Structure 1
Amino acid sequence: MLVTISTAVLFGVITAVLIRTQRVSAGSALAVWLSGFTVAGTGLAGPVNQGLDAAVHMLSTLH
């Protein structure tokens, strides 16, 4: 059974856990979250997405 999850949802959950455990402040999390949207709107979005795709592919081939 294959379960897929959006990277945006995954990183959102990770951010929520970090805020809940008080590893980062809400302000820092907001700055990182907003910087993600900034990167997504630039020319860097393609290479970042390709890197994430390669990492997911690598992890999916590990047994």
Structure 2
Amino acid sequence: MHWIMWVFWGSIAALIIGTYLVDFFTGRKYSLKEQEKTLNQNAAEADALRDVERYNHQNGPY
């Protein structure tokens, strides 16, 4: 059972080291911050918001 601990923590360490190496070798090109949207994404978001407002019946006429 002792070897299971080494396999578990070894795989966790390999995952962390692997992600660091990928981040290092790609020049930190990939970040978790929100990326700039394309025009197609902006148009789709605007269309979705218009669609939601069209069927929004929570606000009455008063």
Give the TM-score normalised by the residue count of structure 2: 0.37
What TM-score, normalized by structure 1, do the two folds share?
Answer: 0.37
Q: Larger radius of gyration, structure 1 or 2?
A: 2
Q: Is the helix fraction higher in 1 or 2?
A: 1
